[in-house]
Amino acid sequence: MKNIVCTKIFYRGKIDSMRITRKSILIIVHMIFFLIIAIIIGKLLLINRSTSTNYSLEISSSTMERNSLKSEINILKTENDKLKFTGKEYSSEDYSGWKKFENSQLNYSFMYPADAFLDNTDHVNAVYVKSSDLNVSVIHFDSPFYHPPVGTDLHSWLLDKISYDEIGESIKILETDSLHLITLKSSQAYAADDYYLIRNGQLYDIKIVHSTNTQDWDLYYKFIRSFKEVISNGN
């Protein structure tokens, strides 16, 4: 009888041990299964992220190429307009509706669009003209730099003293040869065209600032060619 009881206890323990072992195996299998699923999902996410990154890079590269092409087209158009209007002469009818500013101290005048704002509060040093299409400063400071020595050669004297990117086509302003210096657009500043000239011992800087993406060279040359000598009352 005792042998039968011991045998039952032995087999029951063995069965319980087998159940525990089987349960452990099932747990391990489940863990391996979920681990494999996690690895597969991780790889899919990496592939998707890589694809998205490459696609974004392709879009970015394409956008940069389009912007570069647009920039080159705008530059070519600007250069064409400069050549087109450089030699254009404007009649009095072309200035119909424009206003006139006169600086009796320095004996010059110019015309400007009626819708433009004119700031001549410090006309001894500078005059500013600004509208939606025109942003110009006529600078002639009363300072040593703006009163170069008599007989100064504008080109050799000025080019060593200021920064610029290119030398442009020069035109006569107030019956005087000018020096045209170009500053290209940067992250810190707008593009600009400066026309320098020395007249009666005074250095002038007619600065056209391109604060918009378009450049209207017909308007710019029309403004520049409106400069006239003013005969003072004392002569």
SS (H, E, C) the chain: CHHHHHHHHHHHHHHHHHHHHHHHHHHHHHHHHHHHHHHHHHHHHHHHHHHHHHHHHHHHHHHHHHHHHHHHHHHHHHHHHHHHHHCCCCCHHHHCCCEEEEECCCCEEEEECCCCEEECCCCCCEEEEECCCCEEEEECCCCHHHCCCCCCCHHHHHCCCCCCCEECCCCEECCEECEEEEECCCCCCCEEEEEEEEECCEEEEEEEEECCCCCCHHHHHHHHCCCEECCCCCC
- Report the amino acid identity of residue 122: D
Give the model's pLDDT for residue 36: 78
User: At residue 76, does pLDDT exceed 60?
Assistant: no
How confident is residue 135, by pLDDT bands cut at 50, 70 and 90?
Answer: very high
* pTM for this prediction: 0.67
Q: State mean pLDDT over 194-223.
A: 94
Q: Specify the range with the lowest mean pLDDT, choosing from 127-136, 141-150, 213-222.
A: 213-222
Residues in the chain: 235
179 phi/psi in degrees, rounded to 5: -115, 120
In angstroms, the Cα distances linking 213 to 70, 75, 140, 192 are: 11, 11, 28, 12
What is the Cα–Cα distance from 135 to 232, expressed in whole angstroms? 28
User: At residue 2, does pLDDT exceed 50?
Assistant: no
Whether 49 contacts 136, CB under 8 Å: no
What is the Cα–Cα distance from 231 to 107, expressed in whole angstroms? 6
How confident is residue 35, by pLDDT bands cut at 50, 70 and 90?
Answer: confident
How confident is residue 31, by pLDDT bands cut at 50, 70 and 90?
Answer: confident
pLDDT digits (tens, 9 = 90+) for 137-179: 999 999 999 999 999 999 999 999 999 999 998 899 999 999 9
202 phi/psi in degrees, rounded to 5: -115, 130
Domain ranges of the chain: 1-86, 91-229
Which CATH fold topology does 91-229 show? Protein Transport Mog1p; Chain A (3.40.1000)
pLDDT digits (tens, 9 = 90+) for 96-117: 999 999 999 999 999 999 999 9
